[in-house]
Amino acid sequence: MKNVFAILFLIFFGAVLYGLTLRGVYGNFASSEVKNNLDQTTKPLELSPERGRYLLTVSLAENKSFALSKELADAAYPDVGYYEGRFYVYFAPGISLLALPFYLIGKSYQVAQVGAFSVISLFAILNLVFLFLIGRKILNLSVALALLAALIFGFAASSWSYAITLYQHHVTTFFILSSFYAVWRYKDAGRWSWFWGVYVWFCFGYGIAIDYPNALLIFPVIIYFFIVSVKYRLNDEGLKINARPTFFLTSVIFIMLIALHGYYNHQEFGSWKRLSGSLVGYKSIIEENIIQDDGGKEKLKELATRKSNIVRFFAEEKLARGFNVLMFSRDRGLFLYAPIFLLGILGLFMSAGRVNLELGILYSLIGINVFLYSSWGDPWGGWAFGPRYLIPTMAVLSLFIADFLSHASWKWTGRMTAFLFIIYSSAVSLMGALTTNAVPPKIEADPLGARYGIARAFEYFQKQESSSFLFNHYFVHQGISLEQYYYMILALVAMVFAVVLFILPLFEEKKL
């Protein structure tokens, strides 16, 4: 029962806080209103990832097409590819497809964009729920600590900034956490194990349609799935290997999804293995002034050849610098934006002595995420608030923070330390959530003379420029300033964390 209440609380609290910070503007705006308006800093389409995905949703809803009209392509510029006279956003279509029903619902209330963005908040709330469930059931954490893990991920990390706009990270995290939980349920070999099997394969298949690197990010869960599907035992007879056919049979769903995605690629881009990200850029076409005569075709061919080297964007030589950017740098460092995760690292090391299959898979989820994006050519994630590529890692590390507090011998000191870190991390995260994700990396900011890191968000905070839909359309008309709004939310967050850290444990069965 406690779990149900805790989950209901998470849903409610998540809905409130994400609702208060959800980005958007009122009205069903036309694509022509995007350029030099809604694509400006603190506006809902300030950066190309959310702009591209949202405009693809618009295209799907309004034109029933994955290909963007010229007008939409111009609005989605620069992350737009070109193929045989048609324009496509560079992103996998999964997020846009998920947002489609929410867009249509929102549209009927004159808030099409807010509706579309709210799908991500929904997934973010589900992530809170799954973190709680994993903490409780798999890591055997107390209700308070499982709640704490979920809340840290939700509201003491820069993941907050990506729970209120149309990015892929929360959906990716959802597929990782929920499929991990599903495998754990499947492991019991209960009546519903086929359902969990189908679900895991679905997450893997659809996850790839959300973001192509998910093929690697979710892969440890598939390994986990395989390991629990195959059991071996040595007895007097010999070695008995027992494989559950569900693993193989349910993989049909994955094959179908991949086939569907391949069909989509074939239909739209002419080859089942060609991805939208490999198309010639609309940007290149404009910059190199390519026109559609024979000379232009040759040039397009040349550009397409150049694009094929995109795989080399992941390289070991970028690892050290990427790791530093993602962990320690002033413009993106995880530990600068949310130092609470230092306790997560401690928890991770402390858990090594108790390592089991599930912990091993959690380690590998972090390992692959960090390894992959440290090796990525742009570890900054373009203009972004915090290390957005590490959002799945933030989720798993949150569990290890709770695990650390659960096993640390200096409980109250640990909790006090955690609380201080949490308040700082929440304050920073809320600052970003209420203002902007359009934070340039240092190497871009310096030549522009712009601020970067947390200071950039603070700059807009001082200017009273907020991206929050509710603040801009309701609270500001009630005479509430952005500072007041910020402190009100922060106080609420701090209070909840204080209760979870210091009050709730008192009610639990002498676990302190």
Partner 1 sequence: MNLVITIQRERIERITAWGRSLDLERVVKRFAIVMSIAAIIWAYVKDVIVAYGDAESHLNIAKRVVDSLTPGFAQLGGIWLPLPHLLMAPFVYFNWLWRTGLAGSIVSGFAFVVSTVFIYRLTMLFTENKWAGFIASLVFISNPNALYMQATPMTEMLLIMFQTLSVYFFVKFLQQKEELTSLLMAALFGFASVLTRYDGWFLVLFEAAAIGFYYLPNRKDWSKAQGRIILFASLAFFGIFLWLMWDFLILGDPLYFTNSEFSAKSQQQSWKTRGELPSYHNPISAFLYYFVTAMSNNGVLIFALAIVGFWLYVKDRKTPHRLIVLFVLSAPLVFNVTTLFLGQSVIFIPHLTPATFEWTLFNVRYGLMVAPVVALFVGYLFWRVSAAGKAVIVALFFVQIGLYAVGYSPIISLSDGTVGLSSAKRPDAEGWLRANYDGGLLLMDDFARTVSLIRSGIPMSNSIYVGNKPYWNESLQEPEKYARWIVMQENDTVWKQIIGNPFMEGRLYAHFEKAYTSPQILIFRKQDKDKLAATDNADPKLPYRFWKHQCIDTMKTSRDGFEALSKSADVDLLISKELDAIKSTGADCVAIATPYDDEFLPYLERWVSAARARGLNVWFRGNWAAWEGWFGRTKSMTPEDHLAKTALFIREHKDLFRDGDIFTPAPEAENGGPFGLMDEEKYKLYRAFLRDEHGVATEAFAEIGKSVDVNWLSMNGWIARNKLTKETVDALGGIVAIDHYIKDPAEMSEYIEAINAAYGAKVVIGEFGAPIPDLNGDMDASQQAEFVGRLLWEMYRHRQTVEGVNYWVSYGGSTKLLNDDYSQRPVVDTLRNYFMPGVARGRILNTAGEPIVDAQIKTANGVALTFTNNLGEYALPLPAGPAELIIEARGYKFAQKPIMILRREELKLNFELAPERVDFAYRRKLWIRSLKDKVSLLKFW
**Residues engaged in binding partner 1 (CB under 8 A):** 234, 236-245, 311-312, 314-321, 357, 360, 371, 375
To partner 1, the closest distance from the beta carbon of 408 in angstroms equals 20
To partner 1, the closest distance from the beta carbon of 475 in angstroms equals 47
Buried b (16+ CB within 10 A) or exposed e, 335-353: bbbbbbbbbbbbbbeebee
Tokens coding 483: 């500072």
Q: Which residue's CB is nearer to partner 1, number 296 or number 360?
A: 360
* Side-chain half-sphere exposure of 320, counting CA atoms within 13 A: 1
To partner 1, the closest distance from the beta carbon of 376 in angstroms equals 11
To partner 1, the closest distance from the beta carbon of 2 in angstroms equals 34
Q: Which residue's CB is nearer to partner 1, number 173 or number 229?
A: 229
Instruction: Give the DSSP letter of residue 468.
Output: B
The Cα–Cα gap between 48 and 384 comes to 11
Q: Which residue's CB is nearer to partner 1, number 360 or number 382?
A: 360
For residue 468, what are the β-bridge partners? 23
Cα distances (Å, whole numbers) of residue 268 to 70, 123, 278, 418:
16, 28, 13, 50
To partner 1, the closest distance from the beta carbon of 239 in angstroms equals 4
Q: Which residue's CB is nearer to partner 1, number 353 or number 479?
A: 353
End-to-end CA distance of the chain: 21
Q: Which residue's CB is nearer to partner 1, number 30 or number 230?
A: 230
Q: Which residue's CB is nearer to partner 1, number 109 or number 226?
A: 226
* Angle, CA 30 vertex, CA 28 and CA 35 arms, to 5°: 125
| Phi–psi pair at 407, nearest 5 degrees | -105, -10
Please report where in the chains the tokens 């996850």 appear, as a residue. 207
Q: What is the largest CA-CA distance in the chain?
A: 80
Tokens coding 459: 């700059």
To partner 1, the closest distance from the beta carbon of 370 in angstroms equals 11
Tokens coding 277: 């990200």
To partner 1, the closest distance from the beta carbon of 251 in angstroms equals 14
For residue 262, the surrounding DSSP H or E stretch is helix 251-269
Q: Are 28 and 110 in contact (CB under 8 A)?
A: yes
Q: Which residue's CB is nearer to partner 1, number 169 or number 318?
A: 318
